Structure 1
Amino acid sequence: MKPTITIEYCPKCNWLLRAAYMAQEILTTFEEDLHGVLLQPSETSGKFAIYIDGQQTFDRKEAGGFIDIKALKQLIRDEVNPGKSLGHSDRK
Structure 2
Amino acid sequence: MKPAIEIEYCPGCRWLLRAAWTAQELLTTFESELGAVTLRPSDASGTFHVSVDGQALWDRKAEGRFPEMKELKQRVRDHIAPQRHLGHSDRVERQDDVR
Query: TM-score per shorter chain, which class?
Result: over 0.9
Name the TM-score, length of structure 1 as normaliser.
Answer: 0.98
Note the C-alpha offset of 1:4.
Answer: 0.3
Unmatched 5+ stretches in structure 2: 93-99
**Pair member with larger Rg:** 2
Aligned length: 92
Q: 2:23 corresponds to which residue? A: 23
Q: Partners of 2:25 and 2:57 in 1: how far apart?
A: 16
Q: What letter matches 2:41 in structure 1? A: P
TM-score by length of 2: 0.91
Which runs of at least 4 in structure 1 moved beyond 4 Å after TM superposition? none
**Is 1:76–2:76 an aligned residue pair?**
yes
Q: Residue 48 of structure 2 aligns to which amino acid in structure 1?
A: F
Distance 1:58 1:70 in 2: 13
Gaps spanning 5+ residues in structure 1: where?
Answer: none
* C-alpha RMSD over aligned residues: 0.5
Q: Tell me the equivalent position of 1:8.
A: 8
Give the superposition deviation at 1:18.
0.3
| Aligned counterpart, 1:41 | 41
